[in-house]
Amino acid sequence: MTFTFGIYPGGSLGDETGLIEPVRPDDPERITAALRELQGDAEEFLVRAYRSYAADEHRTPERPERYATDGRKLDLVLQFGVRSGELDGWTDYVRQVVRTEGPRLAVVQICEEPNLDLPILDGSIPNVLRALVEGVIAAKEEALTCGYGHLAVGFNAVPSFDPADTFWPELGELADECFHRSLDYVGLDFFPDVFRAVPEGRLVDSVGAVLTGFRENALPRAGIGPAVPLRVCENGWPTGPGRSEERQAEVVEQVVRTVVGLAGRLGVRSYSFFGLRDADSAGPGLFHHFGLLRDDWTPKPAFDVYRKLVGELTVV
């Protein structure tokens, strides 16, 4: 079984109100140096990047292809983002990106958190399920046509704790045999003890419960079986007021080891941390402080912890 690691290296990120830009711009040389250090001797390492069909000029990080060298490959998110839900041109866009970027890609994700209804995410957009299904099929068809057999095509979602949530059964109704044939993975974005507090001493149990519930309860409602691998696409724990850097390092260690420990039973194939650097280390909000580095590029203790975990636990 393979297991690889990655990280989102850009400075931009979104919260419930919109985009947050870093107080210091991205520095490609420093990003590259940090990626090399995190990757160490690992043969593979994923660099997560985001593009939007609705606003393709806004890409984060900028020119991500420059980081796809020396065993690093892109984990590229193609967000839909069309507020009207109009699908004209969407699959052509997906095919064009796969065709031109394919050699640098390890993973292509169709849509961004399509089951979370926030203004900056695809879950707030009508027709998102059709965009997801048609995009997955188009991406896989184009990858096979171009000979990119290495390229994993899938989508992501967040945990849902609402028993009345209709996302998964509605996806199951829309998904046909072609979709299921095209689907190489399902990604999970989750942030335990960030938006909902986890009682002291229960973090490992919480991570295990979320991963197990996602595999055994959520995915089967869409007809997605245990043979389809999982990827942890976004996970992190911010520092900031009342949230120490030392605790971040402890959380990274506990969460990563728990995920890897469950990988065999639950079919998890990769883990990516969100993200490399703080948007604003003096900022007041949670979303300003997710980085393994401070906004001035100095490392927090969790940077070294993650580097060691990558070196120890990567399996290719």
Mean pLDDT of the chain: 97
**Is the per-residue pLDDT at 15 higher than 90?**
no
**pLDDT, position 151:** 98
- Helix H or strand E encompassing 185: strand 185-189
Burial label, 170 (beta-carbon count in 10 A; 0-12, 13-18, 19+): middle
- 3-state DSSP percent of the chain in helix, strand and coil, to 5: 40, 20, 40
Q: Is the pLDDT of residue 19 over 90?
A: no
- Confidence check: pLDDT of 57 > 90: no
Burial class for 63, CB neighbours closer than 10 Å (0-12, 13-18, 19+): exposed
Q: What pLDDT shows up at residue 18?
A: 80
Average pLDDT over residues 71-76: 98
Give me the number of domains the chain comprises.
1
pLDDT digits (tens, 9 = 90+) for 202-229: 999 999 999 999 999 999 999 999 999 9
Range 37-42 average pLDDT: 98
* pLDDT score of 156 more than 90: yes
pTM of the entire structure?
0.97
Q: Provide the pLDDT confidence category of residue 191 given band limits of 50, 70 and 90.
A: very high
What pLDDT sits at residue 163?
86
Measure the CA–CA gap between 114 and 122, rounded to whole angstroms: 5
* DSSP-derived secondary structure for 204-268: HHHHHHHHHHIIIIIGGGGT--TTS-EEEEEE----BTTB-HHHHHHHHHHHHHHHHHHHHHHTE
Tell me, what's the pLDDT at 286?
Answer: 92
- Express each pLDDT in 294-305 by its tens digit: 999 999 999 999
pLDDT tier at 141, thresholds 50, 70, 90? very high
In this prediction, residue 68 carries a pLDDT of: 98
Query: Residue 118: its pLDDT value, please?
Result: 93
Q: Is the dihedral of CA 292, 112, 178, 97 positive or negative?
A: negative
- Mean pLDDT calculated for residue range 195-208: 96
Domain that holds residue 29: 4-313
**Tell me, what CATH number does 62's domain have?**
3.20.20.80
Q: Tell me the three state secondary structure of residue 193.
A: coil
pLDDT of res. 248 = 98
Residue 74, pLDDT score: 98
How high is the pLDDT of residue 114? 98
At residue 14, the pLDDT reads: 86
Query: What does the pLDDT read at residue 178?
Result: 98
pLDDT digits (tens, 9 = 90+) for 231-266: 999 999 999 999 999 999 999 999 999 999 999 999
